[in-house]
Amino acid sequence: MSKALIAARPGLCSILFALFASTLGANGAAAQAEDDRMRLFRYYFVHVAIDVCEIDISSARQKRFDAATDTLEQRTGATKAEMDATFKQIKTGASENPRGFCETYRPVARQTLAEFD
């Protein structure tokens, strides 16, 4: 994954989502499944941003966020290998250019985490 891709392209989420979504089978209604996969993918970016961008989060909020992530993982039917590969890809990209990653995804993380107040 290129450093320039992470730093200069907020569309990284779309690119990685396409890779992730292509590995998942259709579960339930197509619209709901698509929404669940997109939300799960966003949550993975938020998990990485919490660590890489040093975002403060209370333990109560973290537990609610983790529970929501677990629920989405179950609903999408993603395998452990698929989830691990996607998460690793995001983490690797973020570690290659943490400043660019944080500039792009810190606001996304904060907005997403606000849903768990």
Please tell me what DSSP assigns to residue 25.
P
pLDDT digits (tens, 9 = 90+) for 64-93: 999 999 999 999 888 889 989 999 999 999
Residue 55: exposed, middle, or buried by beta-carbon count in 10 A (0-12, 13-18, 19+)?
middle
Beta carbons of 53 and 106 less than 8 angstroms apart:
yes
Q: Mean pLDDT lowest for which of 15-24, 39-48, 58-67, 93-102?
A: 15-24
Domain positions in the chain: 3-114
What pLDDT is attached to residue 21?
Answer: 57
Q: Looking at the predicted structure, is the pLDDT value of residue 49 above 90?
A: yes
